[in-house]
């Protein structure tokens, strides 16, 4: 069972699943599920570094905390942690995006008994938690996922909604490296989705309080004080500096991309990229907006009951688009390669009005063949421009 709605059939499956899922909370409404923060703060406070660590310690004690930690010399990852001192405030990007808080890499959907007469109820994880340290690009991605897993087909995914509704999200601003291109996809100063948003300042952190839920951790902290007007200006200045430092750019307006790409469906750069691509799926598995999954069952040792598990899938895998009867719609590597760009910048951009790419740079950074998403895109655009001149 595949979860890529662009493969045709699964859209129907998604609708049917909703109809058969009366116990799924939110599956009927699928509307505004989460308290929405506005783009600009309702008030600003200042927390010292110590005060912030105390807030995180309380989050560990009272609920659960997922935050970025160091994993290797150069690598970071979001993890469930008990030790607030392990939280990495300053990082460029994690290997896996924070979507794994809502869409775990491997996730138990339900438990079943063989031969049971009743439908198994979905396993829902709605225990409150704090997701800390989310960069603006990843915040934007969370909003994209809210749409994809929520409103898109009129039926919300109950597992996603349960976790998403239970989360208090704390964003934090960052500085880009050579892989970042948030300014090209309008995600560099995103706030929506966050309850609190931090900007590093001399006194510690300027805290933008964006939702009612976000007031709670501050109310419990004795450390927070109101920001001065100069401190309130910090996010804007930080954001402007970040924009100045971004060096990678998509050479086109976003709205023009679907038509430009479609005109260059046969672009040579896709063939050249396919010659270089392993189809290992890393680009999509580390992508904060990709949400395709596979579902499988595993029975217990007594062969009497079992569990249904969902795990990340990838449109880059050879078997991804195989349908009943064995036909593979994208058996050629070049078709899978092209699909990634078309999905992000044609199909979903048209459907959602925004590209399913937030400029985090993970796909390019973690590609061992050094295939650059923006490089390929700009090559296609250059081909399209050349053609227009001719």
Partner 1 sequence: MSAKPRVAFFDFACCEGCQLTVLSIGEPLIEVLKHVDIVSWREAMSERSDEFDIAFVEGSINRESDVPRLKRIREKAKLVVALGSCAALGGPHVSANRFEPSDLLKLAYGEKAGNYEAGEVRPISAEIEVDLPIYGCPIDANEFVSVLKHLLLGRPYRVPNEAVCYECKLNGYECVFDKGMVCLGPVTRCGCNAICTSRGHRCFGCRGLVDDPNVNAARDVLEEHGYSLDEIIGMFQIYSQRAPRVQQLAEAAAEPQEKRSKGSEPWRFGSTT
Applying CB under 8 A, the residues found at the interface with partner 1 are 71-75, 77-79, 94-96, 105-106, 272-273, 275-282, 285-286, 296, 298-299, 301-303, 311-312, 314, 317-319, 333, 366, 368-372, 375-376, 378-379, 382
Closest approach of partner 1 to the CB of residue 364, in Å: 9
> What's the half-sphere exposure (Cβ side, CA atoms, 13 Å) at 119?
9
Closest approach of partner 1 to the CB of residue 298, in Å: 7
Closest approach of partner 1 to the CB of residue 111, in Å: 16
Distance separating the N- and C-terminal Cα atoms of the chain: 46
Closest approach of partner 1 to the CB of residue 244, in Å: 19
Closer to partner 1 at the Cβ: 155 or 277? 277
Closer to partner 1 at the Cβ: 77 or 186? 77
Burial of 151: CB neighbours in 10 Å, binned 0-12, 13-18, 19+: middle
Closer to partner 1 at the Cβ: 34 or 179? 179
Closest approach of partner 1 to the CB of residue 318, in Å: 5
Closer to partner 1 at the Cβ: 91 or 347? 91
Closer to partner 1 at the Cβ: 272 or 351? 272
Q: Say if CB 362 and CB 371 are below 8 A apart.
A: no
Distance CA 248, CA 254 (A): 15
Closest approach of partner 1 to the CB of residue 162, in Å: 21
Closest CA to 350 of 249, 260, 252, 248: 260
The number of residues in the chain equals 390
Closer to partner 1 at the Cβ: 294 or 351? 294
Closest approach of partner 1 to the CB of residue 328, in Å: 10
Closer to partner 1 at the Cβ: 107 or 231? 107
Closest approach of partner 1 to the CB of residue 159, in Å: 17
The DSSP symbol for 247 reads -
Q: Say if CB 27 and CB 93 are below 8 A apart.
A: no
Distance CA 385, CA 366 (A): 29
Question: Residue 135 — φ and ψ, nearest 5°?
Answer: -75, 160
Q: Say if CB 336 and CB 316 are below 8 A apart.
A: yes
Question: Residue 146 — φ and ψ, nearest 5°?
Answer: -55, -40
3-state SS, residue 369: coil
Closer to partner 1 at the Cβ: 95 or 218? 95
Q: Say if CB 366 and CB 286 are below 8 A apart.
A: yes
The alpha-helical segments, DSSP class H, found in 229-323 are 229-232, 234-245, 257-263, 268-276, 282-285
Closer to partner 1 at the Cβ: 342 or 366? 366
The shares of helix, strand and coil residues in the chain, as percent rounded to the nearest 5, are: 40, 20, 45
Q: Say if CB 178 and CB 372 are below 8 A apart.
A: no
Distance CA 334, CA 272 (A): 9
Closest approach of partner 1 to the CB of residue 72, in Å: 3
């Amino acid at each position: 069972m595949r979860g890529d709605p662009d493969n045709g059939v699964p859209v129907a499956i998604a609708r049917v699943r909703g109809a058969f899922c009366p116990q799924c909370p939110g599956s009927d409404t699928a509307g505004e599920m989460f308290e929405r923060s506005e783009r600009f703060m309702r008030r600003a406070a200042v927390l010292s570094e110590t005060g912030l660590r105390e807030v995180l310690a309380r989050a560990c004690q009272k609920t659960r905390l997922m935050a970025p930690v160091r994993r290797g010399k150069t690598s970071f990852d979001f993890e469930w942690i008990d030790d607030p001192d392990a939280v990495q405030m300053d990082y460029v990007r994690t290997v896996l995006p924070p979507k794994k808080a809502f869409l775990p890499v491997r996730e138990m959907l339900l438990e079943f008994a063989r031969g049971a007469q009743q439908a198994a109820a979905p396993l829902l994880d709605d225990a409150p938690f704090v997701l800390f340290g989310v960069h603006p690009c990843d915040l934007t991605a969370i909003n994209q996922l809210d749409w994809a897993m929520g409103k898109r087909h009129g039926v919300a995914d109950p597992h996603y909604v349960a976790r998403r509704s239970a989360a208090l999200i704390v964003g934090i601003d960052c500085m880009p490296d050579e892989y970042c291109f948030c300014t090209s996809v309008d995600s560099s100063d995103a706030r929506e989705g966050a309850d609190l948003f931090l900007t590093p300042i001399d006194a510690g952190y300027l805290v933008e309080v964006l939702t009612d839920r976000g007031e709670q951790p501050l109310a419990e902290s004795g450390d927070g004080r109101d920001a001065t007007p100069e401190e309130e200006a910090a996010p804007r200045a930080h954001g402007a500096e970040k924009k100045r430092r971004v060096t990678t750019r998509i050479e086109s307006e976003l709205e023009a991309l679907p038509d430009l790409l479609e005109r260059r469906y046969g672009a040579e750069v896709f063939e050249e990229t396919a010659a270089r691509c392993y189809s290992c799926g890393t680009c999509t598995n580390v992508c904060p907006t990709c949400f395709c999954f596979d579902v499988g069952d595993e029975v217990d040792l007594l062969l009497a009951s079992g569990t249904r598990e969902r795990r990340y899938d990838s449109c880059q895998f050879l078997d991804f688009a195989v349908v009943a009867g064995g036909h593979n719609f994208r058996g050629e590597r070049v078709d899978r390669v092209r699909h990634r760009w078309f999905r992000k910048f044609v199909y979903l951009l048209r459907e959602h009005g925004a590209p399913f790419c937030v400029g985090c740079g993970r796909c390019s950074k973690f590609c061992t063949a050094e295939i650059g998403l923006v490089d390929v895109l700009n090559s296609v655009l250059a081909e399209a421009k050349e053609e227009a001149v001719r």
